[in-house]
Structure 1
C-alpha cells in the first residue's frame, strides 16, 4: 500500500513539474538567449566566453531563459485566465486544465521573494542612500516639466 502511494505521489509531482515547464513555454527561451548572446559578443568582441566566465554566462542563460519567461508568462496567464477558459486553443494550458492553480502561482511567487538575495526591507534602506547620492551630485539646470521630460 505504501509503495503504491509513493508511486502516485511521484506521478503527481512529475505531472506538476511538467505543467510548470509548459507554463514557461520553452520555445520562448531562445529569445532571451539571443539577446544575451548578442550583448556578450558586442561587449567582449568574442564569440565564446573565456573559461573563467563560463559559469556567469550559464547563469545568465538560466535567468534570461526559463526564469524571466516563466515569471512573465505566469503573470500573463493569471491575468488572461477567464479569457483562456473560453478559448479552445488554450484548452491544454496548465491553468485552464487545473494542473496548476492561481494559489500555486501565488505560493511560488511568495517563495521566490522570500529566497531572494536581497535582505528584507531593502527598499526602505535604498531610498535614503539615493537621496544622499542626489544631494551629493544634484542634477544640473532647472527641472524639466511636461513634454520635455
Structure 2
C-alpha cells in the first residue's frame, strides 16, 4: 500500500498490485519442497536393470535402475528438490515415477529373440493376433 503512483493534485500515492503467474515446467511438477517427474524407461532397462541419466534442478545425474522395475515405481533422490524457505540448508526430494515404454515396432531379429524368450518361459505368443485381425478372421468363417 502507498507505493504506487502519486495521487492527483498532490493526493497520496496509490497501491501497487502484483500479479504472479506460474508457468508449469515441461519436466518437473512441484509439490511443496519436493519435485516430481516422469521417467520414460525402455522395457529392457526395466527388465534387466542398468544406469540411466535423469535431469535434476542442478543438471543431469546418473541413477541405477534395479532389475524388474515396474511402471509406477517411485525412485527418490534425497535432497534434490526445492530448498526450504526457512532453512536453506535443507531441501526437499526429487521423486521419479517410472513409466515403462514398449517399442511399437521390432526388427525381425528382435522379434525372433523375443519369441525364443517367450518359448523358454512357456508363453505362446506366436499365434496371438490383434483384435481387428481376430474379428476379420471370425467373419471369414
* Same-fold status (TM-score > 0.5): no
Q: Which has a greater percent of strand?
A: 2
Q: Which has the higher contact order (CA 8 A, sep 6+)?
A: 1
TM-score (norm 2): 0.25
Normalized per residue, the structure richer in helix is 1
Give the structure with higher Rg (CA): 2
**TM-score of the superposed pair, with normalisation by structure 1:** 0.24
